[in-house]
Amino acid sequence: MTERTTAAAGPPPNTTSGPSRADSRRASRAAFVGTLLEYYDFSLYASAASIVFASVFFTGSSPFLGTLQAVATFAVGFLVRPVGGVILGSLGDRIGRKKILVFTMLLMGGATLLVGLLPSYAQIGWAAPALLVFLRILQGIGASGEYGGAALVAVEFAPEKKRGLLGSLPGMGAALGGVLGTLSLLLVSALMSQEAFLAWGWRIPFLLSVVILAYGLWLRRALPETPAFREIKESDALSKSPILDVIRQQPRALLTVLVMTIGQTGIGYFYIVFMGTFGTNQLGFGRTEVLVGLIAAQLTNTVLIPLFGALSDRVGRQPVIMFGFLYSAVFAWVGISLLSGAATPPLLYWVVMALGNGVGVAAIFGPMGAYVIELFHTQHAYSGLGLGREAGNALGAAIVPVIAVALAFDDTTVWLSLLVCVVSLLGFAATVLSRTRSSSVLKQDDDRAPVSV
């Protein structure tokens, strides 16, 4: 689905002398910590949306409406991400990766901190959910430039034979951030009464995000610009309109990234957003059982992401990603069908969460950082990721959990299985039809074509 020749100029990453090992390690840490903060925030919000926000910010609604409203505020953060991705991606291609990554970290961390300070509906009425939505929008804008920029930094500093492994670190940071976010909420809820937890205890994990924020900013401020960006800047090969360039020159690459992301995020957030509300409303679990399930899903994902990323350096990115989508499609029928009633034991719920999100999503997400970057030329790589990936995020991660909430109030899990299966097969088809360009083809294309400005 991706053009093998385009009108972009400039050498691909790492074709010159390349970065030092110290810079590569520093870049890997900076990318890892940034996405850890992003997904700590997002997972914390998702977990709180499942078990807290319906009663704190949407008081008086029915269980169905309150749950739908709480999950919908989570979705808002994804709906604004394409706009943020276009703006921040374009800036990242014009002024550099580092400056944008510092900004995204400040925006994400600041919004999360303010959620922890936000008054409840009982205190300020309708202004509480309105402010919650506003802060969620800020989170979404910050997140829109975070993963793409972090993956670019990790891959553009990486040795060629380790791009899959190092490109998976932002994904690993995302998964671990999800574990820490959910675990912090579980620990706080376990140490206090339900009344105290709902009154103020849930705020503690949001406020603790300032620790990750401070460390991440310290790392990123000391990070040099990537070798690939420095080279095109020094050769005066920067694009003045990277968004327009990537749309005109590589529309198929954009479509590939968009559909693959719909698959990856749709599957992932089905498990870590929707399945939390499913465990509470349909299976009758308490908040501890639900949070343990979310931790199992994300911890398995954390462990397996770098393994699948490293595997893609050996066998290729495409086969690993295709396996992840096929596995997810098959497991949707096997795993979800086991969760058919209130008699479901918590252990079975935890296993389904771990195998569904842990194995399937890890196989997709691990190699995906390097894979989608290899679709685009350096001059508009950030813009391509910002537009393609964040549009896919908006469609996959925002819409799938909301549709699943509506389907869950039926008497069967068949429709839920079908939803995940369809999303998985869309991602599989996009992966099959996509083609990254080899380094030699990249260099030939880049060397012979002029820059579009």
Give the residue with greater pLDDT, 223 vs 113. Answer: 113
Over the stretch 131-178, which tens digit does the pLDDT of each residue have?
888 888 888 888 888 888 888 888 888 888 888 898 898 889 888 887
Phi and psi, residue 436, nearest 5°: -80, 160
Residue 10 is assigned to a structural domain of this protein: no
Q: Any idea which residue has 């992840």 for tokens? A: 324
Closest CA to 46 of 268, 237, 217, 225: 268
Over the stretch 251-287, which tens digit does the pLDDT of each residue have?
888 999 999 999 998 998 888 778 877 887 778 788 7
Q: Is the pLDDT reported for residue 46 higher than 50?
A: yes
Q: Is the pLDDT reported for residue 369 higher than 60?
A: yes
Residue 5 is assigned to a structural domain of this protein: no
> Phi-psi region for residue 120, left (φ > 0), alpha (ψ -120 to 50) or beta?
beta
* Section 348-375 average pLDDT: 90
Closest CA to 169 of 181, 185, 152: 152
Alpha-carbon distances, residue 17 vs 12, 14, 162, 227, 317 (angstroms): 12, 7, 16, 9, 25
Residue 421 is assigned to a structural domain of this protein: yes
Residue 250 is assigned to a structural domain of this protein: yes
Residue 446 is assigned to a structural domain of this protein: no
> Phi-psi region for residue 96, left (φ > 0), alpha (ψ -120 to 50) or beta?
left
* Strand residue runs (E) in 199-352: none
The CA distance from 382 to 40, in Å, is 23
88 CB-near residues (< 8 Å, 6+ apart): 100, 103, 104, 141, 144, 145, 149, 382, 386
pLDDT over 70, % of the chain: 85
- Name the H helices within 58-126: 63-79, 81-95, 97-115, 121-124
Residue 283 is assigned to a structural domain of this protein: yes
The CA distance from 318 to 321, in Å, is 5
Q: Is the pLDDT reported for residue 403 higher than 70?
A: yes
Average pLDDT, the chain: 80
pLDDT for res 319: 94
CATH of the domain at 139: 1.20.1250.20
Residue 452 is assigned to a structural domain of this protein: no
Residue 448 is assigned to a structural domain of this protein: no
CB 174 within 8 A of CB 40: no
> Phi-psi region for residue 60, left (φ > 0), alpha (ψ -120 to 50) or beta?
left
Q: Is the pLDDT reported for residue 311 higher than 90?
A: yes
Q: How many domains does the chain have?
A: 1
Q: What is the CA radius of gyration of the chain?
A: 21
207 is in which domain, residue-wise? 21-441
* Section 90-104 average pLDDT: 86
